[in-house]
Amino acid sequence: MSKPKEKKSLFQNDGFQALLASLICIVLGMLIGFIVLLFINPSGAGGAITAVIKNFLNYSRASLQIKNFGNTLVKMAPLLMCSLSVLFCYKVGLFNIGVAGQYVVGACISIYAALAWGLPWWLCLLLAIIVGAIYGAIVGVLKAYCNVNEVISGIMLNWIGLYTTNMILSSVKESTSPYTLHIRDYSPQSVLPNIGFSKLFAGNEYMSIAIPLAIIIAVAIKIILDKTKFGYELKATGCNKNAAKYAGMAEKQNIIITLAIGGALAACGGAFLYLTDYELWEVTTSSVPGMGFNGIAAAFLGGLNPVGTIFASYFIQHITSGGAYVDKTLYSSQISDLISALIIYLCGFVGFMKLAMKKYSAAKAAKSGQIDNVNAEPEPKAPEEEEAPTDLDTKSEEGGKE
Amino acid sequence: MLLLLQYTLIFSSVLMLVALGGCYSEHSGVINLGLEGIMVIGALGGALVMRFLPSGTPGILVVLLTIGGAVLFGVAYSALLAVACINFKADQTIVGTALNILGTALATVLVKAINMHINPDDVSSTIQYVTPKQSFIAYIGSFQFNWFMVIAILALVVAYVVLYKTKFGLRMMACGEHPQAAASVGINVYKMRWSGVLISGIFGSLGGICYILAGVSEWKFENGVAGFGFLALAVMIFGQWKPTRIALAALLFGMFRALSNVYIGIDFLAALNIPSTVYNMFPYIISLIVLAFTSKNSKAPKAEGIPYDPGQR
């Protein structure tokens, strides 16, 4: 790999900085989680943290491994949608904490449309997206016209959505348990098609088009934000609402559209999970599902880049699923929630880390600049740079892509 | 009806304590979205004290030690917010959200570990405190009086005096309005913001322990505090960051919350036959509507949410 013409150290590359910062968050988060485990029971801590990291690799049979890898992917799709929702709104300067409620509403509508009306899957999905968009737009309207902070209204709507969902889905639940009916049994046409994926994953029947669709949507979000006028206008509104208005953009409308898109993405995520019939909604659910909040984690861990988010949401789901494999006689599976919460907390420090890296590279550039004047060599290397092995360079390329 | 009054007062006390806590933090310039998490951790601290106090401890000691445990946990936990947002200039919304998730996860993991340690078959996240709870309660006729009602009123008086009548409070509020101006007259903004956040930790944890003592005598920590921290934030905003108005808002919200617990006992409400989930939703819907009407000319501290940068003007 060729070094860039003007001497730029790795630390000046934004992508590399973001990647490194995310890796630091992951490692520190894991480390603190490990310390908590040590504190609870020193003898099993090592085993527990490897169980979390191994996730489906805890099985020894290859077919079971693949099947459970599929299960992680099934839950990654909704998580990716939630994190895209958070990311999209954050790029427009809005913190969409209402993602959790929008996700719940999406789940609610898709399950109800499937079980009560027996609609085909694409109509269920479409309905979920439309209602999710409307639900998200409520936050937008309140923000644009009534100046209500989107965080507060989002939180209120999370709880309203949860209770409404419990109420609506009570009519399509099994009579003896608090769970909704199996979509696969009662309305097979509503299950997302799997176009041969289940064969690929050792007969995992929950694999569906949701996973490739989610990844395609992630790429589409990246293109919309970076390459279109629409995305540019939204980002401009996020940077400075008043400047955007001055430049002739409909700033109020932009806020509402952004949150409607955010709501649609999250609701689509809800439909992606529940239309596979992988999980059933429990109508006595008393707290807002963690999926939306994990979406916040994935968005920030992915360095607020749609492509980075794909990897980050896989990682978060990987450790969340991995939590199921810890030794239940010693620890509880919530240890993975703990680790992802720690990672979000540490993501708060990303700005500081990037600043530190910038300072470090600036100091280094100043130093190597002096050497450059003395020395006519085209590629003078500061001592630290020589230390950096080539695999760091490949990482920087990955970082650049993200 | 007496039951409604009792629940209204106890839920209002919770909301008042937590909202007043948030009020200190926001007046110093830090948005404390992590109040929910602080409540959980504070409740955990108090519940652990009650769980492990030897039976036969005098009532007053139970009360004091429980409150002490709760406050200790809550303040330590709020320091996580302070260090990230004040010293490392982290995004206050992200850190607050993280603390909320972390609070429930941490409490669940710890309580399960403790339960399993005592009895390997017990994998629940529940702590019981039937006997110690009695120390917090006195009966006036059939009305169940809880000492936290007094504590909430004291907190209100203290908040009013501290914020408006003392040098400390006025200086703290200056840091929330224009920290650079405050710094120019020699106020240490970092110290003031730290105090604001830590005080919110004290009141948040008091609210947390009060909440789990409100109606029940055991708590399942997996459930967190069911959005009460967020409701308190709404109370604070509805109260326009002013202690007296917060108290009134807390009474109103507390009443709506109490209705969902006791509506069956009130004849005309029971006759309406509305499902209980509707009552659960009520406080949130009301606060959303109220916020829509009151947010236009918000009296929020000007500099809240913005990390302090001494070089800015």
DSSP code of residue A388: S
- The C-alpha of A4 sits at a distance from chain B's nearest C-alpha, in angstroms, of 32
> What do you get for the CA distance between the two ends of chain B, in Å?
55
Q: Which pLDDT value is given to residue A396?
A: 39
A294, closest residue in chain B (CA to CA): B101
Which of the two residues, B291 and A225, has the higher pLDDT score? A225
Percent of chain B with pLDDT over 70: 99
Q: Which pLDDT value is given to residue A120?
A: 92
Contact A344 B234 (CB under 8 A): no
- Residue A331 has phi, psi (to 5 degrees) of -130, 170
Q: Which pLDDT value is given to residue A372?
A: 53
Give the predicted TM-score (pTM) of the model: 0.86
Can you list the positions of beta strands (E) in chain B?
126-128, 137-140, 143-146, 218-220
- The C-alpha of B139 sits at a distance from chain A's nearest C-alpha, in angstroms, of 31
Across chain B, mean pLDDT equals: 87
Q: Which pLDDT value is given to residue A228?
A: 93
Name residues whose C-beta falls within 8 Å of residue A174's C-beta, 6 or more positions apart in sequence.
Answer: A180, A181
Of B90, B112, B237, the CB nearest to A349: B90
Residue B213: pLDDT band by 50, 70, 90 thresholds? confident
From chain B, the residues in CB contact with A142 under 8 A are 288, 291-292, 295
Judged on CB neighbours under 10 Å (0-12, 13-18, 19+), B49 is: buried
Handedness of CA A72, A73, A77, A82 (dihedral sign): positive
Lowest model confidence (mean pLDDT) among A322-326, B44-48, B87-91: A322-326
How far apart are the C-alpha atoms of B31 and B306, rounded to whole Å? 9
Q: For the CA atoms of A383, A386, A388, A392, what is the dihedral angle to 10 degrees?
A: 140
The amino acid at B141: G
Contact B146, B10 (CB under 8 A): yes
Displacement of CA B32 from its chain's centroid (Å): 11
Report how many Cβ contacts below 8 Å link chain A to chain B.
149
Contact A152 B293 (CB under 8 A): no
Q: Which pLDDT value is given to residue A330?
A: 77
Contact A155 B233 (CB under 8 A): yes
B100-115 pLDDT per residue, tens: 989 999 999 899 888 8
Domains and CATH numbers, chain A: 62-330 (1.10.3470)
Per the structure block, which two tokens stand in for A377?
């060599």
From chain A, the residues in CB contact with B101 under 8 A are 290, 293, 337, 340-341, 344
Handedness of CA A15, A16, A20, A23 (dihedral sign): positive
Mean pLDDT of B232-241: 87
- The C-alpha of B106 sits at a distance from chain A's nearest C-alpha, in angstroms, of 6
Strand partners, B146: B137
Three-state SS at B121: coil
Q: Which pLDDT value is given to residue A3?
A: 45
A350, closest residue in chain B (CA to CA): B90
Of A160, A334, A347, the CB nearest to B94: A347
Q: Angle, nearest 10°, between helix axes B35-52 and B2-28?
A: 120
Contact A152 B234 (CB under 8 A): yes
Residue appearing with tokens 């880049």: A305
Contact A164 B281 (CB under 8 A): yes
Q: Which pLDDT value is given to residue A11?
A: 66
From chain A, the residues in CB contact with B284 under 8 A are 156-157, 159-160
Contact B2, B165 (CB under 8 A): no
How far apart are the C-alpha atoms of B66 and B206, rounded to whole Å? 10
- The C-alpha of B102 sits at a distance from chain A's nearest C-alpha, in angstroms, of 5
Q: Which pLDDT value is given to residue A386?
A: 39
A160, closest residue in chain B (CA to CA): B281
Mutate to test the interface with B, among A334, A335, A346 (most CBs of B within 10 A): A334
What separation in angstroms does the CA of A245 have from each of A91, A255, B214?
17, 12, 49
Of A157, A166, A344, the CB nearest to B101: A344
Contact B93 A300 (CB under 8 A): no
Note the residue count of chain A. Answer: 402
Mutate to test the interface with A, among B81, B104, B109, B236 (most CBs of A within 10 A): B109
Q: Which pLDDT value is given to residue A107?
A: 95
A342, closest residue in chain B (CA to CA): B102
Q: Which pLDDT value is given to residue B75?
A: 95
Q: Which pLDDT value is given to residue B250?
A: 93
How far apart are the C-alpha atoms of B90 and A301, rounded to whole Å? 14
How far apart are the C-alpha atoms of A307 and A222, rounded to whole Å? 7
Q: Which among B3, B90, B34 has a CA at the least distance from the CA of A349?
A: B90
Of B80, B89, B102, the CB nearest to A351: B89
Residue B60: pLDDT band by 50, 70, 90 thresholds? confident
Three-state SS at B307: coil
List, for chain A, all residue ranges whose pLDDT scores fall below the cut of 50. Answer: 1-5, 374-402
Got the DSSP string for A210-264? HHHHHHHHHHHHHHHHHH-HHHHHHHHHHH-HHHHHHTT--HHHHHHHHHHHHHH
Q: Which pLDDT value is given to residue A390?
A: 39
Q: For the CA atoms of A270, A275, A289, B232, what is the dihedral angle to 10 degrees?
A: 50
- The C-alpha of B97 sits at a distance from chain A's nearest C-alpha, in angstroms, of 8
B143-182 pLDDT per residue, tens: 788 888 899 999 999 999 999 999 999 999 999 999 999 9
Mean pLDDT of B32-39: 92
Of A157, A330, A338, the CB nearest to B102: A338
